[in-house]
Structure 1
């Protein structure tokens, strides 16, 4: 299997997660902050949960939980 760079619709650079704390909550907070300060513009398509999980080297479930919370609060 070859390593193929992922094509993400936004740059996850700068999202650093502390593995000793809740990853989904940290990701939620990082994405929410990007929405609020304009770094993640309205209409920007978020990457598939599998792609973002692979880019951040976390489980897909953590990404899904973060996305679910963002959706529940109306951010996405």
Structure 2
């Protein structure tokens, strides 16, 4: 893990096309701006984890539906 200190209006560059900029700080909260190409998905970690869980549930549902269909024949 890379650990950096940045001040307001400073940024870091990831790869060639992603910029993370410090927009403001208030107490223990930091507001970030992320500039990335449209084909790069950017999610908060809790949203990403929820998407992954929904995908796992969908996979299980598809297997269950397939088994139901198979058993009807």
Q: TM-score, normalised by structure 1?
A: 0.25
Higher RCO, Cα 8 Å, sep 6+: 1
Which of the pair has more CA radius of gyration?
Answer: 2
Q: TM-score, normalised by structure 2?
A: 0.25
Give the helix-richer structure, 1 or 2: 1
